[in-house]
Amino acid sequence: MPYEIDETHDQNLKSWVESANDPETDFPIQNLPFVRAVFTDDEEQETFIASGVVIGSKLLVLDLIAQEGFLDGFVDDEIMSTMLIDEYFSQLSRDDRAKFRSRLVSLLDKDNAELRDHELAEHTLFDVADVELLPAFDCRDYTDFYASVYHATNVGSMFRPDNPLLPNYKWIPVGYHGRASSVVPSGTTVRRPVGQLSPAEEGGAPGFGPCKLLDYELELGVVVGRGNELGQPIPIAEAEDHILGVCLLNDWSARDMQKWEYVPLGPFLAKNFATTVSPYIVTMEALAPFRCPAMTRDDDDPKPLAHLHDENDQSHGGIDITLEVFLASKQMRDQDLEPIRLSKGSFKDMYWTIAQMLTHHSSNGCNMQPGDLLGSGTISGPTREARGCLLELTWDGDPFAETPKLVPGTQRTPIELPTGEERKFLADGDEVIIRGYCERDGFRRIGLGECRGIIEPALI
Ligand code: MN
């Protein structure tokens, strides 16, 4: 069942943390995403890490308010101080999660003096700008899906113009196992990978060297809160109970390596050199007002098989999250030019829902665990503006065409930057910035923050 709208989503709620009431903030009192923060004590040369929620420009450290008894009855403070958010939440029922959110919202409400007027309040709140933010979960395993039919069709068309979608696409949420060790937090630089590059001519030998066709993929990361026992599939009606929340994800991709290596076992070194995630986990509870129906399938599309079909998931399984990608080259940053927007799309255009992806993943008995990360796959939509990677964006010869027309061999159309530079793929020094937010009449806008990364030159 999708999560429900309650008093914590009231658009009139305001916080005593003033910055949370700024209409521009991604983090009003209605959001409260989880993060981990690294504190550095310069004198002692020590660092320590704490879990918290972001409110406006501040971080509220959960461990500290738990120690003072503010979460009594909601959180075991021993557990809060030693466990990661995803592990802690794996132990909470859905009702308890809702109570926990409701308690946090109440503590931060402008009319509630409990914490606001407490002498310790200022010692539990920190400027986000003064700490290093890490994702609130320790990425345990990482799987990347391919859930946008627009992305799959565009990419398929480049290789098979007459038959872009393979026969399994509308039956099975296609995915591959990625690598957790190279999932890095926003702000980490990304080294251009070196590898075997697709031969220039069919039947020729591959090259070996720095990737020449480096790309980003705009994706949503889904974080698992509660796992399942090995051998025990997760029924689709229960799938969302297992999800903690979502973050932004950039699945950096080396296209020339990918094209050569992907047959027959799928992506490998073209993807696992880096995957960047934003630090904020926006909870499923916070997203409740922005739920929408799953994407409507064409009349001649197959219906999902019974284990991937649920009425509630069909009516509320989508999420309307607007997602944007920006690019700033080194020259642009040196000249203080604003990043330019490359694309804008919505997660509501995905062919498969989060519940379908998770249920499919566990349908063979595969055990999901707290901290597992599922990438949605590149989020592309029906318009040119909504293409979620450069492989699609610079694809056809007519930059104004809504419908891709390119066949293999046609030149790509470069994107022009305000400095006069051109890009078909990413250059060294380029910074890619992903932003996400949800808006709906009658509700407070909430945001997912940013996911950033700058490309460093290859080592050879
Ligand atoms: Mn991907």
Asked whether residue 398 carries a pLDDT value surpassing 50, the answer given is no
| C-alpha separations of 7 from 70, 224, 285, 438, 447 in Å | 20, 25, 11, 18, 19
Question: How far does residue 87's CA lie from ligand 1's centre (Å)?
Answer: 26
pLDDT in tens, 93-129: 888 899 999 999 999 999 999 999 999 898 999 999 9
Residue 296 C-alpha to ligand 1 middle, in angstroms? 23
Whether CATH 2.60.120.10 fits 7-134:
no
Residue 161 pLDDT more than 80?
Answer: no
Domain span(s) for CATH 2.30.30.230 in the chain: 7-134
* Residue ranges matching CATH 3.90.850.10 in the chain: 142-456
- The single residue of 9, 151, 242, 361 carrying the catalytic annotation is 151
Question: Ligand 1 (ion): which residues have CB within 5 A?
Answer: 144, 217, 251
Half-sphere exposure in the Cβ direction for 384 (13 Å, CA): 14
Query: For position 67, what pLDDT does the model report?
Result: 87
Residue 166 reports pLDDT greater than 50: yes
Provide the pLDDT for residue 85.
79
Active site residue 307: no
Tell me, in angstroms, the distance from the centre of ligand 1 to residue 216's CA: 9
Integer Cα distance of 42 and 32 in angstroms:
29
CATH of span 142-456:
3.90.850.10
The predicted structure's pLDDT at residue 109: 98
Residue 250 Cα to ligand 1 midpoint, Å, equals 8
What is the tens place of the pLDDT at every residue in 404-448? 555 555 578 899 999 999 999 999 999 999 999 999 999 999 999
Closest by CA position to 60, among listed 91, 42, 78, 85: 85
At 77 the pLDDT is 63
Burial of 414: CB neighbours in 10 Å, binned 0-12, 13-18, 19+: middle
pLDDT digits (tens, 9 = 90+) for 311-360: 999 999 999 999 999 999 999 999 999 999 999 999 999 999 999 999 99
How far is ligand 1, taken at its centre, from the CA of residue 219, in Å? 7
